[in-house]
Amino acid sequence: MSDFINRFWSDYVAVVSLLSILGCVILLWLTARKRVAASADNTTGHVWDEDLREANNPLPMWWVGLFVLTIVFGLGYLAVFPGLGSFRGQSDWTSRGEYEAEVARATQELAPVYAKYAAMPVEEVARDPQARAIGERLFMGNCAQCHGSDARGSKGFPNLTDKDWLHGGTPEKIIETITKGRVGVMPPMAAAVGSPDDVKNVANYVLSLSGEPHDSVRAGLGKSKFTACAACHGIGGVGNQALGAPNLSDRIWLHGYGEAAIIQMINSGKHNEMPAQEGRLTEAQIRMVASYVWGLSNNSAVASTP
């Protein structure tokens, strides 16, 4: 398959490559035939730095030999490997093919290791030091860029080491989250709430749910408006894992803390996505990294070896 948008660019690359090699051949041939007229003392007549002269000796044979070899190698390489536009080369080699073969080889080599853990419940895998090491490496390579190398997350990216779950913290739910990904959607709610003052009141009611500092008069006024939110966040803001709606009464804030952050959430809503990993990781790898993640928030269970 070619990445060129049309034939022209493929041909252009091929012609430029071949012309460059031809240029080298011509250069070599010309210099071998024609010598710059030498002066009596066999210098070219160029003088630098007062007395530095350039002798007009022919190229050493070993050097010419290497030059010829380079040209032959270049042509041979272009015949065998892809390099001339979209010509695939005689060997049909592709970097993607090589990568896939390596992945297949590694998967095969690791199969017995994974097979051992496939039969164990996640809780037990999480307790196994070798499995934890594999899980940690998978986490560092695939998850740490978003969730942090200590899995504690950051703004917008949930902390995976606590007991506060958006979508559920059982082994099954964690595996489901990693395999299929998750989308957390909160629509902009300002219109449903009312005036900017109403929005501010609801925000203070939300702060009151977890005992954060708030204006209690505003919180009282905002309480009735929270019915629009309770549809997702539950009565009292305890959250709803089926919808991925966070618990608003636990002082854990995914999108920032305080009145301004909550007002921003109500006005703009949020679309937050955990990308599905099923195309990138095998089922066995997902189970391994899920066990590692489960273990992070169940330290006591992991520490007490059976």
Q: Are 166 and 246 in contact (CB under 8 A)?
A: yes
| 126 near ligand HEC, rule: CB under 6 A | no
Closer CB to ligand HEC, 11 or 250, in the complex:
250
Closest CB to ligand HEC belongs to which residue? 184
> According to the binding rule CB under 6 A, does residue 207 interact with ligand HEC?
no
**228 part of the interface to ligand HEC, by CB under 6 A:** yes
Chain positions 183 to 202 lying near ligand HEC, rule: CB under 6 A, are: 184-187, 189, 193, 202
Per-residue H/E/C for 67-125:
HHHHHHHHHHHHHHCCCCCCCCCCCCCCHHHHHHHHHHHHHHHHHHHHHHHHCCCHHHH
Q: How far is the CB of 96 from ligand HEC (least distance, A)?
A: 22
Q: Which of residues 244-263 bind ligand HEC (CB under 6 A)?
A: 244-246, 248, 253-255, 262
> How near is the Cβ of 105 to ligand HEC at its closest, in Å?
22
**Chain positions contacting ligand HEC, by CB under 6 A:** 142-143, 145-147, 156-158, 160, 165-167, 174, 177-178, 182, 184-187, 189, 193, 202, 206, 228-229, 231-233, 243-246, 248, 253-255, 262, 265-266, 270, 272-275, 277, 289, 293
